[in-house]
């Protein structure tokens, strides 16, 4: 069965913006190979392992599986939110990372279904100081497939970076200006309750009717969240989509340094076991140089493969972007430059991709 020990281990144990089978990843992983976000001291009940390894991930599918006619949207709203429960909150970056990022698993008991590429809203507890009203909803891209890290369909995960503010006058972090929701989430403990809305959005869904479709995924930081869900669905789980997928999923991730890489162990395993169907390229701005000797940003890494990417787009590939909105101007300028070199009208080129549904952007 397409089940990894790293996913089983999650049994024991986000990007934000305001309003018949073989081993895991397609093809075998030993139970000792757990990802860095799993505390290996946790005890995993034998019953949990048996459950996770005995299920095919086909019980939350549409009919046919690729149909998007019944995608759940805004089932729970601000005035009547869903109450989930924290399973685990774990730091998933190294000591030299720029900031703290956590992987948060939430139990919804199967009562809050979602699809890969959607977001959950989180309502932090308390009220706003300025007017005493409840805090507004923050949206976080879901970082797991619809089956969750335990593959039972009863959990979902978020990838959240703790938002802090460094005060140059105090030469210290100013707690009064910290991110309300991200700090709430990163400080949660198992058993804590969390009020949630959604699921939100359809723009980042995967079109699965044609199993030869190529997916080009471009992320910065916690914008990796929806693409982790994509990779799990295609390469880590025993889903109908995984069984027939013959295209290429190509992931680009931009972070500051190696310690800031997210889910690298899972992605490397997917690449190792699916070399014909999965590729990954990193842009490490503080460790790599671009062709001009400057820092390697995400647009520079994508530009290295411009000819291949444009060929894929001409053949129907879908291109996704997720992360801080500041990533898009550099991406757009780079693509415009490539278009100019190829004698292509950039605006018409992008308009054509949007018209055919090949262009997917979710930035915050």
The encoded tokens of residue 160 equal: 């959240």
The count of residues in the chain is 364
282 is a catalytic site residue: no
- Strands 155-161 and 166-167 turn out to be unpaired
In the block, tokens 């281990």 appear at: 9
Among residues 114, 140, 147, 215, which one is catalytic? 140
CA angle 66, 151, 148 (to 5 degrees): 80
Among residues 12, 141, 144, 145, which one is catalytic? 141
The encoded tokens of residue 163 equal: 């938002």
Distance CA 273, CA 169 (A): 51
Residue ranges with strand state E in 162-231: 166-167, 172-173, 193-200, 215-220
Structural contact between residues 208 and 199, judged by C-beta atoms closer than 8 angstroms: no
- In order of 29, 52, 152, the CA distances from 25 in angstroms are 8, 15, 17
- Strands 249-255 and 215-220 turn out to be parallel
Which of 106, 93, 90 has the alpha carbon at shortest distance from 140?
A: 106
287 is a catalytic site residue: no
141 is a catalytic site residue: yes
Q: In what order do the strands lie in the sheet with 359-363?
A: 278-284, 249-255, 215-220, 318-323, 359-363
67 is a catalytic site residue: no
140 is a catalytic site residue: yes
For the chain, counts of helices (H) and of strands (E): 10, 14
Structural contact between residues 321 and 331, judged by C-beta atoms closer than 8 angstroms: yes
**Beta pairing partners, 203:** none
Among residues 65, 305, 346, 364, which one is catalytic? 364
Distance CA 123, CA 194 (A): 7
Which of 224, 261, 299 has the alpha carbon at shortest distance from 98?
A: 261
The encoded tokens of residue 270 equal: 């997917």
Mind telling me the catalytic residues? Answer: 140-141, 322, 362, 364
């Amino acid at each position: 069965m397409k089940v990894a020990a790293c996913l089983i281990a999650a049994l024991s144990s986000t990007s934000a913006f305001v309003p018949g089978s073989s081993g895991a990843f397609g093809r075998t992983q030993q139970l000792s190979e757990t990802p860095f976000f799993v505390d290996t001291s946790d005890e995993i009940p034998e019953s949990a392992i048996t459950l996770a390894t005995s299920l095919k991930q086909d019980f939350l599918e549409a009919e046919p599986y690729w149909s998007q006619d019944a995608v759940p949207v805004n089932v729970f709203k601000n005035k009547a939110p869903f109450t989930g429960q924290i399973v685990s909150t774990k730091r998933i970056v190294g000591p030299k990372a720029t900031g703290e990022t956590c992987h948060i698993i939430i139990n919804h008991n199967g009562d809050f279904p979602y699809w890969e590429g959607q977001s959950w809203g989180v309502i932090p507890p308390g009220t706003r100081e300025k007017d005493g009203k409840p805090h507004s909803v923050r949206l976080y891209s879901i970082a797991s497939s619809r089956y969750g890290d335990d593959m039972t369909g009863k959990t979902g995960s978020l990838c959240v970076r703790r938002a802090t503010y460094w005060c140059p006058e105090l030469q210290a972090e100013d707690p009064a200006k910290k991110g309300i929701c991200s700090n709430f989430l990163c400080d949660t403990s198992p058993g804590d309750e969390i009020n949630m809305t959604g699921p939100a959005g359809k723009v980042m869904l995967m079109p699965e009717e044609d199993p030869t479709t190529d997916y080009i995924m471009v992320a910065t930081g916690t914008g990796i969240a929806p693409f982790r869900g994509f990779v799990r669905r295609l390469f880590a789980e025993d889903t109908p989509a995984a069984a027939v997928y013959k295209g290429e999923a190509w992931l680009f991730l931009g972070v500051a340094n190696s310690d800031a890489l997210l889910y690298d162990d899972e992605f490397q395993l997917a690449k190792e076991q699916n070399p014909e169907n999965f590729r990954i390229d990193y842009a490490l701005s503080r460790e790599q140089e671009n062709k001009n000797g400057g820092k390697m940003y995400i647009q520079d890494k994508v530009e290295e493969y411009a000819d291949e990417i444009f060929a894929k787009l001409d053949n129907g590939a879908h291109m996704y972007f997720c992360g801080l909105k500041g990533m898009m101007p550099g991406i757009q300028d780079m693509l415009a430059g490539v278009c100019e070199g190829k004698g292509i009208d950039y605006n018409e080129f992008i308009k054509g991709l949007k018209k055919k549904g090949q262009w997917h952007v979710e930035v915050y």
